[in-house]
Structure 1
């Protein structure tokens, strides 16, 4: 820290002048972009436009609202936030959740295995092999305000449905996260968006058909890579997969 010598008679004026300058310097460093989205804008736009198609499907994606009221976020492989959009009067708190889901699915999928955030539910519960994962990679709360964070790596870990990794050419290129309905509907929307965008050719998974689709628990406590049911209207994995 730079030391400043002040005469006692001018101490108050000196503090008034120096403190704001120090604060401004810190603010500039904190909010300067840490990088930029490396996904082609055409790819980002292709994913985005699927949201408007999927939320208006006749089955409502098994969710609470028809049409669904959603936030959707896209990150690149480095975790940089590329895009955040919404439909309808989506819950403001779901913006950060959508971003964190995109970061989580991208962050815990690779070229050998895809893990959706729905797949991570059971192993992150108390006693599970990944318990404590939710405390890693915390979300940068400085960017909770709407319209902020593009180009930054915001982090966040969410381990319930709504996040999927994006694949192109057999490689993970980023992640997609959605939030605004039940966790089960969120998963259905993200999975369907990715499929319609042509970015869902995963190498392997823990879900049905060797995918990263949702695996609903059959007992009282989810095991393995299972996810609990949300409502009786939840779509089956095969129904989610059947979207065209």
Structure 2
């Protein structure tokens, strides 16, 4: 009986929070390595289960949220992909692309979350077409593939934030599995709890890269549309403990 209980508990732990490892088929393509400071990946990863289980929730469709989370280094190498709950399989690639986007379009002077890029990339916007600039490498759509490689992908709705340490961008975090607004809240909160969210400046509230909700039907500038009535305000997202 004790042995059966241990096996059952282990199964629950694996189901609630699992990592990906490199698939053998990846050897057909050049591979780099994650260049984030030692311990950074584990520090960010462990925040996922904390944030999706916060008492106030993160808005969106599910509670607790069912999420993929991906981390890239400054060069765009995929360092980590984890999942919690029965998250949509299609969200894996989206999380990776959000991490790549936030890292790719943030620097040491200005942080831009993927939520901040929404309005400008819509038809008629000044960055329309940006989503086609760095296509996702579809060879690594299979779960368990792509670790150590630069997969690309550009996503311009909420859920991706750059990671900062010592005033410098060191990589990006992307999450996907719920509404774009909930995804943003989770990514922003994960980064804050990991201590990697001190940005140099941004176009969001209080000079951050937090979400800026549109006050009209047509988002402009760095605005993002609301998703659901349950969306967390930027202030609520910022006040994560």
* TM-score normalised by the chain length of structure 1: 0.87
- Which whole-Å CA distance do the structure 2 matches of 1:206 and 1:159 have between them? 15
- TM-superposed CA distance for 1:30, in Å, is 7.1
Question: Does the 8 Å CA contact 2:26/2:146 hold for their aligned counterparts?
Answer: no
Q: Give structure 1 stretches of 5+ with no counterpart.
A: 1-26
User: Given the alignment of the two structures, is residue 159 of structure 1 paired with residue 156 of structure 2, yes or no?
Assistant: yes
- Which whole-Å CA distance do the structure 2 matches of 1:172 and 1:81 have between them? 15
- TM-superposed CA distance for 1:41, in Å, is 4.0
Please state whether the residue corresponding to 1:193 is helix, strand or coil. helix
User: Given the alignment of the two structures, is residue 60 of structure 1 paired with residue 57 of structure 2, yes or no?
Assistant: yes
Q: Give structure 2 stretches of 5+ with no counterpart.
A: 1-23
Q: Which residue of 1 aligns with 2:74?
A: 77
User: Given the alignment of the two structures, is residue 192 of structure 1 paired with residue 200 of structure 2, yes or no?
Assistant: no
- Which whole-Å CA distance do the structure 1 matches of 2:48 and 2:61 have between them? 16
- Which whole-Å CA distance do the structure 1 matches of 2:122 and 2:195 have between them? 32
Larger Rg: 1
- TM-superposed CA distance for 1:37, in Å, is 0.4
Question: Which residues in structure 2 correspond to 1:134-145 (within 5 Å)?
Answer: 134-145=131-142
Aligned residues: 218
Q: Which residue of 2 aligns with 1:119?
A: 116
* TM-score normalised by the chain length of structure 2: 0.88
- Which whole-Å CA distance do the structure 1 matches of 2:173 and 2:118 have between them? 17
- Which whole-Å CA distance do the structure 2 matches of 1:30 and 1:148 have between them? 10
- Which whole-Å CA distance do the structure 2 matches of 1:58 and 1:68 have between them? 12
- Which whole-Å CA distance do the structure 2 matches of 1:34 and 1:122 have between them? 35
Note the aligned Cα RMSD (angstroms): 1.4
* Stretches of 4+ aligned residues off by more than 2 angstroms: 27-34
Q: Which residue of 2 aligns with 1:180?
A: 177
Question: Does the 8 Å CA contact 2:140/2:146 hold for their aligned counterparts?
Answer: yes
- TM-superposed CA distance for 1:58, in Å, is 1.6
1:171 to 168, 172, 186: 168
- Which whole-Å CA distance do the structure 2 matches of 1:241 and 1:161 have between them? 15
Inter-CA distance 73–181: structure 2 relative to 1 (3 Å threshold) = same
CA displacement 1:42-71 (0-9 Å, x = unmatched): 100000000000000122201210110000
1:209 to 195, 206, 210: 206
